[in-house]
Amino acid sequence: MTDSASPVASIEQAVAEYRRHGFASLGRVFDDVALDRLRTRADDIMLGRVDPSTFFFQHDSESNRYADLSYGQGFIGPSPRYRKLEKLERDPLFLAHIQSPLFEAVARAVVGDHVAIYRATLFNKAADGSSEIPWHQDAGSYWGLDRTPELQIWTALDEVPEQSGCLEFIPDSHLDGLATPLGGAIPADVVAKSSRLETIVQKPAQAGEVFLIHNLVWHRSGNNRSGRSRRAFTVCLLDGATRCLRRKRAPRQFFTVFSPK
């Protein structure tokens, strides 16, 4: 079913809803001036007007199928069809967005006194089509952490109607824990056995609207069929004491965004 945006009355109410259902809307938080700056910066990064060596890139597939995505290619030249840009905490405009007083208040309420960034990512669905994102959870052993992060703060940079690939959630699914130990994309057979599929909620968003998303809630988004860009910026926040467990390379160090008071 489709559930239109309904702003919450307070941070406390939003956090309570996020904890109960796995997601919550803060309503339209950012105006067109702020959004234009971020949209322009996103385009500049994808088109190579900003040093691409600073960021992580993943281009969308030519077939617009998630299964056909390529990995490890990075920046392959100017293109409006990068589906994912990461390490945006290195950009001053996106970092300022993350460090807004509202985000700090939410982060301290959910994560605690010392808040770091796991990833700061632009998800882009290009105007001429894009791949879908299947049901997934943003946690598991694949993430290589000593504890599960719980909070993502997602901002719609463009209008996100249903036809542009709006977010879809299965409410309360975060309460069931990880669907598989590995995490990430949920296998089709696990999805097929879920008793919660009939509760799917679609969440169209206004440009400037902000969602709180629990890392374990089942969520996905479809293809962009709107003929317009669909850009959204999300930051995954974690406890500053979190350690990276990977061993093939040096363990990651996580950027502190809100220091202990």
Tokens matching residue 160? 């996100």
Q: How confident is the model at residue 8 (pLDDT cuts 50, 70, 90)?
A: low
* Rg, Å, the chain Cα set: 17
Of 2.60.120.620, 1.10.1060.10, 1.10.540.10, 3.30.530.20, the CATH number of 11-258 is: 2.60.120.620
Do 125 and 233 meet the contact criterion of CB atoms below 8 Å apart? Answer: no
- Residue 5's pLDDT is 41
| Whether pLDDT at 1 is above 80 | no
What angle, rounded to 10 degrees, do the helices at 11-21 and 101-110 form?
50
Residue-level pLDDT at 9: 56
Start-to-end CA distance of the chain, whole Å, equals 43
| Predicted local confidence at residue 221, as pLDDT | 96
Residue 130: predicted pLDDT: 86
* Percent with pLDDT over 90 in the chain: 85
Contact present, 170 and 197 (Cβ < 8 Å): yes
Query: How high is the mean pLDDT of the chain?
Result: 93
Residue 127 has pLDDT above 70, yes or no: yes
Position 50 confidence tier, pLDDT thresholds 50, 70, 90: very high
Q: State the pTM of this model.
A: 0.94
